[in-house]
Structure 1
Amino acid sequence: MRVLVVNAGSSSLKLRLLDGSDVIERSADLPADQGGFDTDRLAELLRGWAEPDVVGHRIVHGGTRFLGPVRIDGPVRSELQDLIDLAPLHQPKSLAALDAVTGLMPGIPAIASFDTAFHTTIPPAAATYAVPEEWRRRYSIRRYGFHGLSHAYATRRSAQLLDRPLDDLRIVSCHLGAGVSLAAVLGGRSVDTTMGFTPLEGLVMSTRSGSIDPGLVLWLEEHEHLSPHEIADTLEHRSGLTALAGTGDMRQIEAAAELGDEHAMLAVDVYLHSLAAGIAAMSASTAGLDVLVFTGGVGEHSARVRRLAAKRLAYLGVAVDAESNQSGPADRDISAPEAVVQTVVVQAREDLQIAGEARFLLDHDSGVDQGDRQREPPRPE
C-alpha cells in the first residue's frame, strides 16, 4: 500500500511517498515562507508522483478527543479546528497542509496521526497538574506530551535492534532536535514525558527555555511590564541555547566550546544538566532502566552529547563504547561491553510511524464509526 506522508512543521512541509515496503519513492521539503502550503505550488511539485492509496498527516495536537489515528472526514476536520487554542503555533500549519493536500486528492483516504496520542497512556499521577479542578475541567489542562510519533517509532525500533521483546523493556527515549523531549516507556507504553500542556515545558531546547519557575513569569510581568504575549514569544523563540550561546545550532555551539568560548561551554553544560536530570526522572517513572535511546538531529549526530550524558548517568549503569558512539550505521547499539543499560541511536523516522498507522487504520477500520475515539491506539509492527 503506497502512502503519502505529510509532515507540516512550524517552518516547513515535508512530503514522503513510501511504497508498500516503506522505501521512499519521492520526497520533498518545502519552506513554509515560500508557499509550501499553497495548493498550486503543491500541485506543481506532486506532478509526476505516483498516486498514493492513502495520505497520512502528522497532526500535533489531538487533545483529549483523539487517542489514536483517525480517518479524516468533515466532523473530524471541525474537531481538529477546535483544538487550535491548545497548539496555536503548530496546529494551524498542520491543518493548512491537510486542506492543501486534500484539495488536490479529494478521493484519497486521509488519516491523522497525532503527536500527543502516544502519551495518552500516561497515568493520572504523571498527567495531572496540581492546579484548581475548575481550571483542569474547563480548559482540559493536563500534561499532554509531544513528539509522540518519534518516541513511538524510536522505542519500537530500539527493541528490534536489540532483538528484545518491547513488552519487557524499560526505555527512556530522548528526542533531541530543535525541540527536546523525553519519554518514559514501560512495556511499549508511555508512562511519563517531559513536555506538558505545551511543548515549552521540560528540557532546554534550541530556542525554548524549557521549564522555568512560574514565579519568574509573574515577576517579569510586574517588574518589566511585559505582556503575556511578549513573554511567551521570548520563551518560545529567544531562549534556550539561543539565549545562552547566541545560536540554537548544537554543531556551532560544540565547535565554539572546543575553542574555549565561555558562553558555548556554559550552554553545553546547562543542556547536559537538563538532559541528565530529565533522564534520571524518567527512569524513576519506569522503576529502572534497560534501554536509553537517542534520536533527533542532536541525538543522532552529536557524539559529544551522548558521551557526556552517559558519563553523568554512569551511576544508572549507562556507558557507551567510544568507537561505536563516534560513528557507524544510522541505527546502532553504542553500549560499552560493561554497560548495564543498553544505549542505542535510532534515526528519526516519523514518516514510518505515520505510514504504519495509516495502513493499519485503513486495513482494520473501514466502515467503523469515526466517533469511537477511545480505542487503544494501534502500535504497527
Structure 2
Amino acid sequence: MSVNYNGIALVLNCGSSSIKYQVVDTTQEEALASGLVERVTDHNEGVRAVIESLSEPGSGVDLSQLTVVGHRVVQGGAEFSAPTIIDDEVEEAIAKLSVLAPLHNPGHVAGISAARAAFPDIPHVAVFDTAFHQTLSEAAYSYAIDPHIAAEHGIRRYGFHGTSHGHVSAKCAELMDRDPKELRIITLHLGNGASADAVKGGVAIDTSMGLTPLDGLVMGSRTGAIDPAVVFHLHRAAGLDIDEIDDLFNKRSGMLGLTGHSDMRDVHTMIEEGSHEARVALDIYTRRIKGYVGQYMAQLGGLDAIVFTAGVGENDDIVRIESLTGLEELGIEIDAERNAGRKKQATLISTDTSRVQVWVIPTNEERAIALQSVASVS
C-alpha cells in the first residue's frame, strides 16, 4: 500500500519560551508561511499568537485546510521509534521523558497541550529527534556500565538531530541516483548543536550524541565528548556543584568557551586578526569532525558519501575543507572551487576523481516533519 505524503501541515517546535512554526504544503518545496514567537510565558497565549499571525490577510494560509499539526519532540526515549499520533497517553509519555531532556521536553509538552486545545479537530503527530537512531545495535547504543542500572534509569545512546540526518541521507541517495540500501553515508549536522551519523543501507548504525545532546562534536557552547572524570575533578578541586558543571559544559564551553564567540563567523574574524586562541579552537573543532569521519568509515566498512548540513555545514567553506583535508588516501578529495562559498542548494563539492562523493545538502527538518506527520494520518 502506498503512503500519501500530500497535505498541509502546521509544524511546531515549542521551546520553554519560544515557538517556531511553519506551514508546509507538502506538494510544494517552499513553505507557505513561517515565523517565531518569542518570550513565551504561557504556551496557550503563544499558540494563539501563531494562529493570529497565520490568520492575517496576506499570510497565504487557510487554517481550515490544515491536514495535521506536526510537533518536533527532542527526546522519544526507547518508547518511540516512529512518528506517533498524539493522544493523552502519548502526551503523558512525552512528559515523563522530560527526565532525559529537561531543557526540551517540558516545552514540547506545554506546546502540544496548547495546540491540541486550539486545534481539537485536527490530528496531532509527534516526530522525535531520537527516532532515526532506534536502529542502532545494542552494542552501538549501550554504555559500559552495570546494565541493570542503565535499564532502570534509561541510560543509553539516543542520538539527536535524527530528522535532519534522515532527511539529508535520503536526499543524498536521490542526488546520487542510487538505492539507499546500497550506500554508506556519513552525515555531518553542523550548527550551534552538532552531530555526526553513520548511515548504512538507509538506517543509522552510529551517532555522536549520546544520552543527551552534549556528547560528540564540539559545538557552539557545548563541550562535546569529554573525559567524565573532569566532572569529579571540577567538583573536588574547584568546588563546583553538579548544576554549575552542567551549566559550564552546556552553556559556557565549546567555541564560546574557547574563543568567547559561539558564531563561527566571529571565530574566523578573530583568526584573520591573528588570534592564536581562535586558530587553536578551530583546529579542535575540525579535528574532532575528522576523527568521527575516520571512526564511522571503519564502522561502515567503507564509504560512498559524506554530507555537510545545517548552519555551519551549509555556509562555512573553511570548516568543510579543513575537516576533510588530509583524508585523500581514504579517497576523500575536495574541489576547492566547488567548495567555495555558502550553499543554498544541494552541491557536490568533491573532485571528479574522489572515490567518496562529498555533498552540501541544506537540511529542511520542518518539511521532513510535515511529510512524516501527513503520512502518519493518511
TM-score range (shorter-chain normalised) is: over 0.9
Question: What's the % identity of the aligned pairs?
Answer: 38
Distance 1:256 1:164 in 2: 42
1:319 equivalent in alignment to 2:342? no
1:8 to 14, 19, 25: 14
Residue 353 (structure 1) aligns with? 368
SS in 1 for 2:354: coil
Deviation at 1:102, TM superposition (A): 2.0
Q: Is the 8 A contact 1:161 1:332 kept in 2?
A: no
Residue 50 (structure 1) aligns with? 62
SS in 2 for 1:306: helix
Residue 306 (structure 1) aligns with? 320
Distance 1:275 1:352 in 2: 27
SS in 2 for 1:111: strand
Which residue identity is paired with 1:93?
Answer: G
Deviation at 1:9, TM superposition (A): 4.7
TM-score normalised by L of structure 1: 0.92
Distance 2:161 2:202 in 1: 15
Residue 207 (structure 1) aligns with? 221
Q: Which moved more, 1:47-56 or 1:267-276?
A: 47-56
Q: Which moved more, 1:48-57 or 1:218-227?
A: 48-57
C-alpha deviations, 1:304-358, integer Å up to 9, x for none? 0111112133232111211221145521111111211000001110012111111
1:189 equivalent in alignment to 2:203? yes
1:254 equivalent in alignment to 2:232? no
Aligned residue pairs total 363
Which residue identity is paired with 2:358?
Answer: T
C-alpha spacing 1:244/1:10, structure 2 compared with 1 (3 Å): farther
Distance 2:9 2:223 in 1: 36
TM-score normalised by L of structure 2: 0.92
Distance 2:227 2:233 in 1: 10
C-alpha deviations, 1:92-116, integer Å up to 9, x for none? 1222222222222111110110000
Q: Is the 8 A contact 2:16 2:40 kept in 1?
A: no
Distance 1:242 1:35 in 2: 30
C-alpha deviations, 1:66-97, integer Å up to 9, x for none? 11110001111111111000000111122222
Residue 190 (structure 2) aligns with? 176
Residue 105 (structure 1) aligns with? 119
C-alpha spacing 1:122/1:32, structure 2 compared with 1 (3 Å): farther
Gaps of 5+ in 2: 1-6
Q: Is the 8 A contact 1:206 1:241 kept in 2?
A: yes
Q: Which moved more, 1:239-248 or 1:277-286?
A: 277-286
1:38 equivalent in alignment to 2:52? no
Residue 169 (structure 2) aligns with? 155
C-alpha deviations, 1:250-279, integer Å up to 9, x for none? 011012112211111111001011111112
Q: Is the 8 A contact 1:159 1:166 kept in 2?
A: yes
Deviation at 1:360, TM superposition (A): 1.4
SS in 2 for 1:208: coil
Q: Which moved more, 1:155-164 or 1:119-128?
A: 155-164
Residue 114 (structure 1) aligns with? 128
SS in 2 for 1:14: strand
RMSD: 1.6
Which residue identity is paired with 2:370?
Answer: A
Distance 1:46 1:215 in 2: 50
1:343 equivalent in alignment to 2:351? no
Deviation at 1:8, TM superposition (A): 2.9
1:331 equivalent in alignment to 2:346? yes
Q: Which moved more, 1:225-234 or 1:312-321?
A: 312-321
Residue 232 (structure 1) aligns with? 246
Distance 1:29 1:329 in 2: 21
Distance 2:67 2:37 in 1: 22
Q: Is the 8 A contact 2:224 2:254 kept in 1?
A: yes
Residue 24 (structure 1) aligns with? 31
Please show how residues 136-151 of structure 1 align to structure 2 within 5 Å: 136-151=150-165
C-alpha spacing 1:146/1:10, structure 2 compared with 1 (3 Å): farther
1:67 equivalent in alignment to 2:81? yes
C-alpha spacing 1:10/1:35, structure 2 compared with 1 (3 Å): closer
Q: Is the 8 A contact 1:295 1:348 kept in 2?
A: yes
1:280 to 287, 294, 303: 294
Distance 1:233 1:5 in 2: 30
